[in-house]
Amino acid sequence: MDAENEQQAAPAEHGGEAQRAGLSRRAVIGWAGAGVALGAAAVGTVAAATMSSDESGAAPQAPDVPFYGEHQAGISTPVQDRLHFAAFDVITTDRDALVKMLKEWTKAAAAMTGGREVGGGAVGAVPESPPDDTGEALGLPASRLTLTIGFGPTLFEKDGQDRFGLKAKRPEALVELPKFKGDRLEAGRSGGDLCIQACADDPQVAVHAIRNLARIGMGVVNVRWSQLGFGKTSSTTPDSQTPRNLMGFKDGTHNIAGTDADALAQHVWAAPGDGADWMTGGSYLVARRIRMTIETWDRTSLKEQEDVFGRTKIEGAPYGKQKERDTPDLSAMPADSHVRLAHPDSNSGLMILRRGYSFTDGSDGLGRLDAGLFFLAYQRDTRKAFVPLQTKLAANDKLNEYITHVGSAHFACPPGVRKPGEWWGQTLFG
Amino acid sequence: MPAPRRTTAAAFLVLAVAGAALVGCSKKDDGKVSADSGGPVQVNATDSACELSRTSFPAGHVELAVANKGSKVTEVYVYAAGDKIVTERENIGPGTRATINAEIKAGTYEVACKPGMTGDGIRQKITVTAGSAAPVKADDRLTQAVSDYRKYAQEQADATIPVVEQFAAAVTAGDVEKAKSLFAASRVGWERTEPVAESFGDIDPKTDTREDALEDGQAWTGWHRIEKSLWVDGKIGDEEKTLATQLVADLKDWQKRVADAEITPTGMANGAKELLDEVSKNKITGEEDRYSHTDLSDFAANVEGARQAYELLKPVASENEPELSKTLDSEFEKITTLLGTYRNADGTYTSYDKVTEDQRKAFSDAVNSLGEPLSKLAAAVVVK
């Protein structure tokens, strides 16, 4: 391990949780790094370092994203490479049990996003008992793991039932999404009372996080559906190149930057007076599983492919321009091209924050790739953002010839957990 | 980044800490700490030291009397191998004292003082010895639980034999319908106590193997082989008659050996969990009794057997882990109620091929909701 790696692994604590957890997953790595670096040094040097791990020299370049804050991490924070998204059904009728689970989830989330083990760790105190942490993330760094929770419409009301006394708190913006033209939604890939979006640079870390939360939630929730994603398809960091989707195109170039506080305030974060006070600082998440008909796309002419998007394939430049980020001349694009229809200039400045991932779930039994885009978008009010935009796209977008929306869900993601002791959903249930 | 596995890293850490203990925490040059042989272990915590009045003491109840003589708020941890926290106390202010109580088993540990409440702390190795203290007395209630469970397992085996004999007699008589009607009932005692039967290793493969579990060349015998003849072929031949006789003999062997089964409280607890694992693996899917679809009868018997083990352990479990015990009570009740809705007046259960996907999902939820907390029962009955 070299100095650079050591730096990446250097511990950086957030809140008091880290101190409670004893030796952290991350701290272990930090120590190994420090140990190798100091391998030839005298024992006394090692001892000194042992006593002050947090001041051990290396400039911290934390591999973790702070869990605590005004807004939940995983929305405007830089997009990681991998996704494990899970929607849950609440199977208990006991509100206290649900609240208890949310508190346990919060603790576990704070630990895992900090690169630490869940509860009593992966090697339980009692050999006869299964350990609290499932252990597959042992030795891995936090990998910028973020965990983001959302509450679905059915948590507030289902089949006319006010399930947990929350009906009056349901935000108006948390609508049942309308049926869009061409939707072929599958129940087993849609809806959910709760969701957790786990993003990390390492899929094992993201999978570990969902698995452990699902385990903690047993008896209270069960997994309704889940989705793995790879290859982020949009970026919240404006200086990086827009990643390509599985059609080989750059899409989502004009995304909201995570650093653009004004745009975030205007388009992403729910504000006081928006309708539900408990959502202030939160955001509304739309998740859509969009299947691509990969095989027909691949035998489509390059010209048709470029016409569908309104961009060049190789550079991603808007029609008539040279570079990806050149200001598009929408009139130069076909009227039914994806970029032209979706661009803010065609939609009175309307913007959503996209965070989608590509997915490939093997093949579908007919030899076709089961692949596409798992679209994730955050916005201040879905009624004013995703709904009008998708209504328009569903009716006109030339891309519809090659894609089908097969899964759909809508969640209200509450504001961030600001400090240890607070919990996910406190503003709603508390 | 070549992230090391924890084991390697932890091994290195122990070396580093040992170094720290040698250099940083030597106590022989310091007469401030009295080295009395009994009573609390004095811990002198300063900003740069963590001194213990003794580093070796007998297992059992250990009391650490911490005095923070430093200028920073500190915390004190006792770690077992791999930095498992045995006990801890945070927020010990400068100039204040705190007492930490713990039950500690024999072994080697580390005590860490963390001035400023950050980092890995200043560490000190301690040895907790067995034998020198009064040995931890086995909990009489657990001894009783084991003995009651053995009695239960024996009763189940004893009660099974006559039913299996009737089932075998019907097979031998070529009476397909009667044999079918006795199939599920003949399995109840076995399914209630399956972990005990499985502990013998050789009986289960002869009596309860499913076709897909066979190894190449292994003869298929037992319940499920006869089940297939009854439900799929609808007829009984000489081979089935022989197999029925063999089933009775194999189960009588089981009945005889229950008395010798090794049963421990944690084994009972994990056995209960294993019964739920059986349900979740083979019964929810309808694989277990794929020809007769009597899965719910086995399912109910698994739950009943698991509940019996739990009830016997409950006096101790509810004391050690009251929350867990509450959860288990409620989840056992829920799953029993759910099963009850599929139970007919004559005690048989709805045929599993009539159970819809949604209903199977509800069963699956119920099994997970019970199985997960049940997996924590063993830890709740370990004598510390």
Q: Answer whether A13 touches B (CB < 8 Å).
A: yes
CA closest to B16 among chain A residues: A46
- For B258-285, what is each residue's pLDDT tens digit? 998 889 999 999 999 999 998 998 889 9
Our CA-based measurement puts residue A120 at a distance from the nearest CA of chain B, in whole angstroms, of 8
CA–CA gap between residue B132 and residue B135 (Å, rounded): 8
A123: which chain B residues are within 8 Å (Cβ-Cβ)? 82, 84
CA closest to A94 among chain B residues: B330
Q: Are B375 and A91 in contact (CB < 8 Å)?
A: no
Q: In this structure, what token pair is assigned to residue A406? A: 């097969």
Q: Answer whether A188 touches B (CB < 8 Å).
A: no
Please say whether the beta carbons of A177 and B40 come within 8 A.
no
- Number of Cβ pairs closer than 8 Å across A and B? 146
Question: What's the pLDDT score for residue B6?
Answer: 32
Token look-up 């591999």 returns A63
B48: which chain A residues are within 8 Å (Cβ-Cβ)? 51
Q: Are A219 and B370 in contact (CB < 8 Å)?
A: yes
Q: Answer whether A204 touches B (CB < 8 Å).
A: no
CB-closest option in A51, A54, A140 to B20: A51
CB-closest option in A50, A120, A126 to B20: A50
Q: Are B6 and A25 in contact (CB < 8 Å)?
A: yes
CA closest to A100 among chain B residues: B323
Question: What's the pLDDT score for residue B181?
Answer: 96
Question: What's the pLDDT score for residue A9?
Answer: 31
Question: What's the pLDDT score for residue B102?
Answer: 73
Q: In this structure, what token pair is assigned to residue B292? A: 């007769």
CA–CA gap between residue A46 and residue B23 (Å, rounded): 10
Write out residues in chain A with pLDDT < 50, as ranges.
1-61
CB-closest option in A22, A54, A128 to B118: A54
- Nearest CA to B349 out of B138, B185, B141 is that of B185
CA atoms within 13 A on the CB side of B51: 20
Q: Are B83 and A22 in contact (CB < 8 Å)?
A: yes
Question: What's the pLDDT score for residue A232?
Answer: 79
- Predicted complex ipTM: 0.75
Q: Are A5 and B123 in contact (CB < 8 Å)?
A: no
CB-closest option in A44, A123, A219 to B373: A219
Token look-up 């039914």 returns A336
- For B225-248, what is each residue's pLDDT tens digit? 999 999 999 999 999 999 999 999
Q: Answer whether A97 touches B (CB < 8 Å).
A: no
CA atoms within 13 A on the CB side of A8: 13
Q: Answer whether A139 touches B (CB < 8 Å).
A: yes
Question: What's the pLDDT score for residue A184?
Answer: 96
Our CA-based measurement puts residue A92 at a distance from the nearest CA of chain B, in whole angstroms, of 10
Q: Answer whether A314 touches B (CB < 8 Å).
A: no
Q: Are B90 and A23 in contact (CB < 8 Å)?
A: no
CB-closest option in A48, A50, A123 to B120: A50
Question: What's the pLDDT score for residue B131?
Answer: 59
| DSSP letter for each residue of B315-367 | HHHHHH-HHHHHHHHHHHHHHHHHHHTTB-TTS-B--GGGS-HHHHHHHHHHH
CA–CA gap between residue B109 and residue A72 (Å, rounded): 39
Question: What's the pLDDT score for residue B38?
Answer: 65
Q: Are B269 and A215 in contact (CB < 8 Å)?
A: no
Write out residues in chain B with pLDDT < 70, as ranges.
1-38, 131-137, 384
